[in-house]
Amino acid sequence: MPLATVNGIRLNYEDSGSGEPIVMIMGSGSGGRAWHMHQVPALKAAGYRVITFDNRGIPPTDVCAQGFTIQDMVADVVALIGRLGLGQVRLVGTSMGAYVAQELALARPDLVRQAVLMASRARSDALRLALAGAERELHESGVSLPTRYRAVIQAMQSLSPRTLDDERGVVDWLDVLEMSTQDAAGQGAQLGLEPMPDRRDAYTGISVPCHVISFADDLITPAWAGEELAALIPGAGIEVIPDAGHYGYLENPEPVNKSILEFFRSAAPVGTAD
């Protein structure tokens, strides 16, 4: 994966396939390679060019330990689009990545053809406000949790009951989560983006065609939050994927990929009137 200097930082990205471009924006704590397990192969097979990257806070992209804003992350994507000469793109974002995609669609609709917003929302509610504050306090305390404990808690927060009740499968998940450690400074910088402000009024101004995908068993961003988001964005669709938690794009990828591709195929071909 090459490193490109964009928007004043070094950003690690991967560009594969050919056809109309899709830029995929990962959520907090994970690198862009997570998209390559299920989504990138499906999108490439459907004839798209797919660009993934590591957000600020995820090495080898610059960590930016001093902190950053959602506007900085939007500017990173805008700069990457310009650096690669992509023109108008389709976006896929999940969780924090969907937040970036929403703000990009609002600020620069000229750059966005369509946007898929997964595990997303328009505001933080009382419980997620409390979770954001608690996670920030834990990080600032300097306490280092045992990796196995952290993996178990992450699994219980982010996976569906179907996955958690699969005794063989959940062992594999725990092993993966235990190995997926994030740079401490980068984690702190990304935690600075929470809690999400109330953007309900702003998102009524999104003019880009959007499709919201929520996960039925998502405890981090519950399905009602995605339904609320879709109701705010003019013309947006909504699909709730069953048997999936916050990592639904990895847990139940086939219906997720189907939903993405059906939405993208709904657009008129480039060069024709929508």
Can you name the residues that pair with 211 across neighbouring β-strands? 116, 237
Q: Encode burial over 3-36: b for 16+ CB neighbours within 10 A, e otherwise.
A: ebebbebebbbbbebeebbbbbbbbbbbbbbbbb
Question: Is 21 in contact with 48 (CB distance < 8 Å)?
Answer: yes
Catalytic pick among 28, 160, 246, 259: 246
**Token code pair at residue 27:** 């959520």
Catalytic pick among 28, 95, 158, 160: 95
* 218 in active site: yes
* 95 in active site: yes
* 120 in active site: no
Q: How many degrees, rounded to 5, is the angle at CA 94 between CA 71 and CA 128? A: 80
Decide: residue 165, CB within 10 A, 0-12 exposed, 13-18 middle, 19+ buried: exposed
Catalytic pick among 30, 214, 218, 259: 218
Give catalytic residues, as residue numbers.
95, 218, 246
